[in-house]
Each structure stands twice: as structure tokens, then as C-alpha cells.
Amino acid sequence: MGIQTQLRRAVALFRFAALGYPVLLGALSFDALAHPVWAVLLVAALAAWTGAVSYRYTRRGDEPRVLYADLAVTALAVAASARALAVSGGAVPISLGPWIAGAVLCWGAAWGRRSGAVSGGVIAVFGMVFRGGVSENTVNEAALLVLTGFTFGHLVRLGVEAEERTRRAIERSAAARERERLARDIHDSVLQVLALVQRRGNEIGGEAAELGRLAGRQEEALRSLIVSESYRHPLDGRRDLRELLGRHAGAAVTVAAPATPVPLPARAAGEVAAAVASAIDNVREHCPAGTRVWLLLEDDGEAVHVTVRDDGPGMAPGRLAEAAAEGRLGVAQSIQGRVRELGGTVAVVSAPGKGTEVELRLPRPAGGGD
């Protein structure tokens, strides 16, 4: 049960309690009323409407047509009270008092402080028009209604935002606990198996040694994932690209990144990280053993730049086009395709004997948002 549901119930209780104001004053001044029958009918109508609209709010929430109808009925009730609650001798009619604030509270809770203030102003205008014009009483009533709507709407918005932050914090805490459980399971099973494969492969030698090397690399990557900050403390709906790329750091790969997080939407960060992983895999597959890789991450506020450079043998001009024509689409799809779908660009610079450099550029939306 959220805060708005609880507030709707509280407002319903307030409206029934506030209904006692015109009932009590009408009963005390019943003999002095100019139209006692009209007064009884008005109070009965107010009680019926209070019950009906309170039931509707608490059961179905804030429906626009009900809110407008509630404001209209309240305004008409203020106008009708000028005759139904009129006192003999020309005195000021009995006021509906705090009951008229019920619709204002509902508007503020549903649509915020501005709507709450506007609804209070509408009811205040009806009071001035039908209850003796501009006077000290009507001006005070107008000020109270407008301030009530504005303040209540503002407080409700703060409460809803706080509730949403609490909900997200609880979800993050639950997700963190689940990740910790998975990390324990992975440590006790997958990582131990990979370590065993690496050790046995090295002992056997030959092709098994290559399998062991691959298993060791996967173990290192998986272990880095488990201990990374982005895995243990993910950003709300985003991922830290710096942490994702940092998993590649090792004996053959040097990673340089900013000291602060580089947040991106989760999907974008994942696609960029996959493109970078593909570029590094290309180096391992096509370059001699011992080839060094340098990975540079930069964030200038307008765009995120990732550069993957190696000191391998490089490529002849047109080699990428030839590979694509032959159906080998590793660079075209795994790297360029991923970044292009995100609205970014990829530049590949290479020459025989001078290594290869792949630069990925992903622009941020206008204003530097994520």
C-alpha cells in the first residue's frame, strides 16, 4: 500500500470529520435559519457525495473525471450554501468550513501543488461571488484554500519521490544479495572447474595446453566480473563502462580509463563492451603471440571514446573490405554494426608493420545526459 493510497484514505476521514462543521453549526442555529428544509437537504447531499466520492477515490484512485466532478460539486455546494444556510435577519450565511478543502486536497494529491492551488482558487472565487463578495472572511478563506492546495500537493510529491527512492534502494539491495549468492555459487563451481582445466591442460601440453590457456583467460575475466564495482554496486539503470572495460586488463592488455565512472545506459554499455571485446579477440586470433594491446577510454561530456591499439603486423589497405566480401564479418558486424546501431561511429586505421588502431565514438544525447 503506497503513500498515495494511504493519503486518499486519510483525506476521506478528513472529509467525513469536516462534514461535522456545517452540521453542528446548522443544528445550533437551526431556529435562526431562513430555509431550514433547504439546509437539511444540502447537508444530506453533502453527506451522500462525501461517501460516494471517498469510496471512489479509495477504490479506484485518482480518476480525472471524478476529480473534476468533485471540484464542480464543491463549488456548487458553496454557491448553494448562500441560500440553504442563510440566517434570518441578513447575517452572513453559515459556512461549509473545512469541508470545502476536501476537493482541494484531492487535487493536490493527484496532480501536484499547482493544481492544488488552482482548485483552491476556483472554490474561493465561488465563495466571493455567492457569499457576499470580497470581504475579510472570503479573502482569508481564499488564502487558506490556495495555500492548503499548494502545500499539500508539494508534500505529496516529496512523499511519492521518497517512496520511489526507497523502492529502488530495496530493489538494488535485493539484487546485490542475489549477485553475492551467484558469486559464491560461481566461485564454488565454475571457477574451480576452469582452474582445474587450466592446470591439467598445462600438465598435458599440446592442444590441451591451448585449452588450458583459454580456460585460464575465462577464469580471469569471470573473476574480474565478480569483484568489479559495477557488478557489486550497479548504477541505477546504467552501467559503468570503465568497469566493464577494466576486465580486459592483464599481462598483454593495458587499460587506461578516467578516475571517475563513465555511466552509460545498460544496453549501450553492454554493446560497446562487446565491440571492444571483439576487437581484442581479433588481436589474439590474427596476431602473433605476445602482441601488446592498449585500451584507452575517454569521456569528454559530449561523447565517449574507446581506442583499441595493438603493435601487431597490421593490415594491408582494403583488407577489411575483402574480408567482408568473403563473408568474414567480425569487424563489420561485431564492432561496426554494434556501435552504428547506438548512433556511434568506428574508425579503423592500420598499415603493414604498424599495428592496428580501432576507435569507437559514442555521442551522448544533447545536454550531456546518459
Cell triple for 367: 545536454
User: What percentage of the chain carries pLDDT values higher than 90?
Assistant: 44
- At 356 the three-state DSSP class reads strand
- Residue pLDDT, tens place only, 324-370: 666 555 566 778 888 999 999 999 898 898 899 999 999 987 544 45
- Between CA 320 and CA 296 the distance in angstroms is 23
Average pLDDT over residues 291-316: 93
Residue type, 121: G
- Between CA 78 and CA 129 the distance in angstroms is 10
Maximum distance among all alpha carbons in the chain?
113
- Residue pLDDT, tens place only, 161-211: 888 888 888 887 887 787 777 766 766 677 778 878 888 888 888 878 888
280 vs 218, residue with greater confidence: 280
Strands 293-299 and 253-256 turn out to be: parallel
Whether the pLDDT of residue 231 is over 70: the answer is no
pLDDT for residue 287: 87
Whether the pLDDT of residue 235 is over 60: the answer is no
222 vs 80, residue with greater confidence: 80
- Residue pLDDT, tens place only, 94-114: 889 999 999 999 999 999 999
pLDDT for residue 284: 86
Give CATH 3.30.565.10 domain extents, the chain. 237-370
Q: Which fold has domain 237-370?
A: Heat Shock Protein 90 (3.30.565)
Q: Read off the pTM.
A: 0.54
For the chain, what is the mean pLDDT? Answer: 86
3-state helix, strand, coil in the chain (%, to 5): 65, 10, 20
Residue 288 CA from chain centroid, whole number: 47
Integer-rounded Cα Rg, in Å, for the chain is 35
Average pLDDT over residues 133-159: 91
User: What percentage of the chain carries pLDDT values higher than 70?
Assistant: 89
